[in-house]
Amino acid sequence: MTDSSALDRVWTVPNIISTARLFLALVLFVAIERELCQPALVLFLVAASTDWVDGWWARRFGQVSRLGRILDPLVDKVIVCGAFILLAARDGSSAILPWMAVVVVVRELVVTAVRAEMERTGHDFSAGLSGKLKMVLQCGAIALELFVRCAPGASFGGIDLRQAAGVVTWAAVVTTIYSGVEYLVSARGLLVAAKR
């Protein structure tokens, strides 16, 4: 069991990693905006692949903190929402369309608000399987979109990567909506129970 002093720690290794990922996200956004697709792809892959490091470290070495419980998912949302917004295109040149970016951002805002209320009332509201799958598909959609911008017309094993990006993006959007609804249904039960 984690004591209160440990929960109040700020400058732990996991929090430093999360903060570094936040700054990395800002550099990523500049690279996307300036259409530097190769640096953007590398930056995104580093940011996405190190996502698990801070959580693993916190659990492995007992460095779970209140700040970390907020910062880690916040950074994930900044990276994904920012990338979706910057990669969205109206003309169909991107697998990510503007309305898809809106769906992703709205879902994350709603779930963040619900999670904050659950944490405030003392309920655990950690990501479920659908939430984790949603994150994987969102990251896959972003990575594929960046890759096809670096290598237009690329294919892998006979599969057109532009079409693959479209399929993964649609899967990410559907899972985003499903996981959002699932969270709301789950939260409704917890909130009703908390009021009794």
What does the DSSP 8-state code read for residue 88? Answer: -
pLDDT digits (tens, 9 = 90+) for 74-127: 899 999 999 999 999 888 889 999 999 999 999 999 988 887 777 777 666 666
Check which CATH number belongs to the domain holding 102 and give it: 1.20.120.1760
Domain membership of residue 97 as a residue range? 4-195
Within the chain, residue ranges assigned H as helices are 4-7, 13-33, 37-49, 51-60, 66-87, 98-120, 129-150, 161-195
pTM, entire model: 0.87
Count of structural domains, the chain: 1
Which residues share a beta bridge with 160? 155
Give which of 135, 117, 147 is closest to 171, Cα–Cα.
135
pLDDT of residue 196: 54
Q: What percent of the chain has pLDDT over 70?
A: 88
**Distance, C-alpha 33 to centroid of its chain:** 19
